[in-house]
Amino acid sequence: MMVGLFFAMSLLLPGYSTTVAAGPLMIFTIRRFHDFGQSGWWAAAPLAVGLAAGVAMAASPLLAPIIQAVLLVGSVSFTAFVGLMPGDAGPNRFGESRPLFRRKRPDLSETFS
* Per-residue three-class SS string for 28-65: HHHHHHHHCCCCHHHHHHHHHHHHHHHHHHHHCHHHHH
- Which contacts of 56-65 are long-range, i.e. CB under 8 A and separated by 24 or more positions? none
Query: Could you give the CA distance from residue 50 to residue 73 in angstroms, rounded to a whole number?
Result: 13
- Model confidence at 36, in pLDDT bands (50, 70, 90)? confident
- Read off the pLDDT of each residue in 8-23 and give the average, rounded to a whole number: 67
Give the max Cα distance, the chain.
70
Mean pLDDT of the chain: 77
Q: Assign residue 97 a region (left: φ > 0; alpha: ψ between -120 and 50; beta: otherwise).
A: beta
Quote the pTM value. Answer: 0.63
